[in-house]
Amino acid sequence: MNLVNGIASDAVSVRDRGLAYGDGVFRTFPMRSSRPVLWQRQYAKLARDCQTLNLNCPALALLDRDMASISAAEPDCVVKIIITRGDGARGYALPAAATPTRVVMTNPLPSHIRHHQETGVRLHLCRIRLAIQPALAGVKHLNRLENVLARAEWSEQEIAEGLMCDTDGNVICGTMSNLFAIKNGTLLTPELTRCGVSGVMRDLVIELAGSHGIPVQTTAIRIDDLLAVDELFVVNSVIGLWPVIALDRKAWNLGTLTAQLQRWISDAQGD
């Protein structure tokens, strides 16, 4: 199912600035039993990301209506929302009166998610580096060529995700996920002030750890640091939490704190 500005449609204008420049933002999350999971958080991120781009975020009521249309047709699916700056004349200058384009799409829930949650995943270490751009760091915008090139680096079925570093050599994220490590009982996650996407599940994990008394450090992490951690995992709103069992020649066992966090996430989502 595809909705464009609330109406069933499979097309956007060729003049849309989302296509021309990637001038927009997006979110991806599950709908389960007709309920968009962690929806308030997703909308809050969408609104914040729109604000960073100085883009008028559609009102919650409009997107609530889209969610209702979708949940009736597809109670269990992956929802993707794209908000663009809408149509514009040629040229980078912002249109005087831009009307954002609101696209809502559904996709099937992937079948391998739970398997990876239970058995863990192997990571590929990506050769392409993330460029450092503080003005866009954290934002889930539509300029995602680095992620596309990173994901194209491997095709092995047994590798579920790629690990990305920035051009300064700091570990930042997966191609589609945020990264966490546990070292001596402390939860570590990379700073996202210079690049990377700050996801809803990342925020939730940080909050859950904090509320259960686990120390959390948002910090610079190098590959050598990462190879010395006790537990490692990646998260996003669709996959939940996948333990990492291998990166390069390093291997990890499934960790106890990782498993604990999986249960807390499940509870928080009302699974």
Q: Where do contacts with its own copies occur on this chain (CB under 8 A)?
A: 2, 4, 9-23, 26, 28, 53-54, 78, 80, 82, 84, 89-94, 103, 105, 107, 128-129, 131-133, 135-136, 141-152, 167, 175-176, 195
In order, the DSSP letters of 108-173 are PPPTTHHHHHHH-EEEEE-SS-B---TTTTB--BS--HHHHHHHTT---TTEEEEEEEBTTSBEEE
Q: Determine contact, residues 120/254, Cβ cutoff 8 Å.
A: yes
Task: Provide, rounded to whole angstroms, the least separation between the CB of residue 73 and its own copies.
Answer: 16
Q: For tokens 């499934």, name the residue.
A: 254
Residue 21 exposure: Cα atoms within 13 Å on the Cβ side: 15
Task: Provide, rounded to whole angstroms, the least separation between the CB of residue 26 and its own copies.
Answer: 8
- Strand 240-247 with 250-251, pairing: antiparallel
d(CA 268, CA 76): 18
List the one residue out of 217, 231, 164 whose CA is nearest residue 194. 164
Task: Provide, rounded to whole angstroms, the least separation between the CB of residue 259 and its own copies.
Answer: 26
Using CA atoms in the order 220, 226, 229, 234, what is the torsion angle rounded to 10 degrees? 90
Task: Provide, rounded to whole angstroms, the least separation between the CB of residue 264 and its own copies.
Answer: 27
- Rank residues 13 and 260 by Cβ distance to its own copies and give the closer one: 13
Task: Provide, rounded to whole angstroms, the least separation between the CB of residue 228 and its own copies.
Answer: 29
- The strand order across the sheet containing 2-4 reads 7-8, 2-4, 101-107, 77-84, 24-32, 35-36
- Rank residues 117 and 258 by Cβ distance to its own copies and give the closer one: 117
- Rank residues 3 and 188 by Cβ distance to its own copies and give the closer one: 3
Task: Provide, rounded to whole angstroms, the least separation between the CB of residue 139 and its own copies.
Answer: 9
